[in-house]
Structure 1
Amino acid sequence: MLTRYLPIFIILSLLAEVLGTIGGFGSSVYFVPMASFFFDFQSVLGITALYHLSSNISKIAFFKKGFDKKVVLTLGIPAILFVSIGAYLSQFFDPKILTYVLGFFLIALSLLFLINKHLKVNAKTSNAIIGGSFSGLSAGFLGTGGAIRGITLAAFKMNKDKFIATSAIIDLGVDFSRTIVYYYNGYMHKHDLYLVPILIGVSIVGTYIGKRILNKVSQEQFRTFVLVLILIIGVVSVVSN
């Protein structure tokens, strides 16, 4: 089936990468629901993990001007720990229920920050740990936790380059951890591996296009765009489930 629709799959994957770069929290929030039209859910998790590894390396290469070391540690370490737990437990839970929970959570939080633009989460270690833990669990369960990480980083009001670089470094560790667990869960299949080099090329091109678009966007427009994208992701998660 995919061989017939491969060009459509590639175009949609490229669009997911461009939007994920512009939003700053990765392509998986778009790639997972899109890939679900072509693969079963467990295969989607395996392919997404492999795709995201190259995607995040591309982002780190294109947005290497700086990252927040403290946030990488305080948000990234719990994210890496909890993604392994979520990836293991994913085989025992109904993903539809978890998708509903994630969708309503993202809708509520994004609306809160969009309506009250002056609302700010204090840049405390505890907030980073909570955001990292939830994003890790979501990434392991559903294949995508970038939106939760994005809402946390958006609240910290980083500049664009630091936001994307910090998110990508954390996501790289998350993807590496869940790739190992997904492999042992049997989510990765030899007949799907031909897609890996294709998706590596897509991730590089998509990241480049996204960066060019971001160069024309102000900091406040960037933060608003991130929150609007997260709101849309939440609505789509609920409606399409």
Structure 2
Amino acid sequence: MNISYPFLLLALLAEIIGTVGGFGSSVFFVPIGNFYFDFHSVLGLTAVFHLSSNLSKIALFRKGLDKKLLLYIGLPSALFVILGGILSKYLQSYWLEILLGIFLVAMSLVFLIKKDLIIPPNKKNATLGGVFSGFSAGLLGTGGAIRGLTMAAFNLEKSVFIATSAAIDMMIDLTRTVVYYQNGFIHQHDMVYVPFLFVIGLVGSYLGKQLLDYIPQVKFRMISLVLILLIGLISIGKQFLT
């Protein structure tokens, strides 16, 4: 059984940092996975990995879900992840990785420069946030940051925020797992990682929750943004150097 243990360790770190930083693990997991697998395989693994990750977050932060946001953000997310997932089949991995790198760089710079960026909390913006986060999740494997920015406008209590975000993510992952399977992105030889990633999703979410009690999320969020910026630049540079 040929397993990359450095990849599993990095997946655990991605889950911990994603939980504490509030962006979700995929923003780190997808570019990290690109160094070990082809992009389409990473999309398939990300969907499966997130299922366990989000189940654990819902269990750990079960202080109530915001049902209105589940409707306004979750439903359009689940619909548009289908469109993004279908399009990912027709774009070459080279361009998908460059798009991912540009997305990560742009997103991190926006958050770093506009520290007080606020989206007005209304139904229209919630729906648009769901559309863009779902489409990005389907096409590039990550859309949690867009969803996080949209949800932040509603000033939710921290545990409600994480549980609601995880529930929306679960809707996205269940949908895109089916699409990615139909696309042929979920390969039999990659399934050896699934049990490990399932455990990592549980352990990483738990450790992230513990760290939240000791580290202010604002500070950790800033560190996460710098890491996302660097990962985005590396993702772009990797395509031009290979």
Verify same fold: TM over 0.5: yes
Structure-2 separation of matches of 1:218 and 1:147 = 18
Deviates more, 1:61-70 or 1:214-223: 214-223
Alpha-carbon separation, structure 2, partners of 1:90 and 1:58: 28
TM-score, length of structure 2 as denominator length: 0.86
Q: Counterpart in 2 of 1:93? A: 91
Structure 1 portions without partners, runs of 5+: none
Contact 2:17/2:224 (CA < 8 Å) preserved in 1?
Answer: no
Question: 2-side partners of 1:236 and 1:68: how far apart?
Answer: 37
2:166 maps to a residue whose letter is: A
CA spacing shift, 1:114–1:127, aligned 2, 3 Å: same
2:42 is matched with 44
- Correspondence for 2:33 among 32, 35, 40: 35
Q: 2:119, 2:149 within 8 Å by CA — same for their partners in 1? A: no
Identity of aligned residues (%): 54
Mapping of residues 17-28 of structure 1, within 5 Å: 17-28=15-26
Cα distance in 1, alignment partners of residues 34 and 51 from structure 2: 19
| Cα distance between partner residues in 2 of 1:203 and 1:153 | 22
C-alpha distance in 2 between matches for 1:21 and 1:174 = 17
**TM-fit CA distance, 1:66:** 2.6
Unaligned residue ranges in structure 2 (runs of 5+): none
C-alpha distance in structure 2 between counterparts of 1:175 and 1:72, whole Å: 14
After TM superposition, list the pairs within 5 Å mapping 1:27-176 onto structure 2. Answer: 27-101=25-99, 103-104=101-102, 107-108=105-106, 110-176=108-174
CA gap 1:150/1:100 in 2 versus in 1, 3 angstroms: farther
Preserved contact between residue 20 and residue 217 of structure 2 (Cα < 8 Å): no
* TM-score normalised by the chain length of structure 1: 0.86
Decide whether aligned partners of structure 1 residues 100 and 203 sit closer, same or farther in structure 2, where only a CA change above 3 A counts: same
Letter in 2 for 1:181: V
Cα RMSD after superposing both structures: 2.5
Using the TM superposition, name which of 182-191 and 172-181 deviates more.
182-191
Q: CA deviation at 1:118?
A: 4.2
Question: 1:16 corresponds to which residue?
Answer: 14
Q: Secondary structure at the match of 1:193?
A: helix
Q: Are the aligned partners of 1:95 and 1:142 in contact in 2 as well (CA < 8 Å)?
A: no
Q: Secondary structure at the match of 1:14?
A: helix
Q: Deviation per CA, 1:94-127, whole angstroms, max 9, x where unpaired?
A: 4544555555455455544544544421101111
* Whole-Å separation in 2 of the counterparts to 1:155 and 1:109: 17
CA distance in 2: counterparts of 1:99 and 1:20, whole angstroms? 20
Aligned residues: 239
The offset of 1:171, in angstroms, is 0.4
Kept in 2: contact 1:80–1:173 (CA 8 A): yes
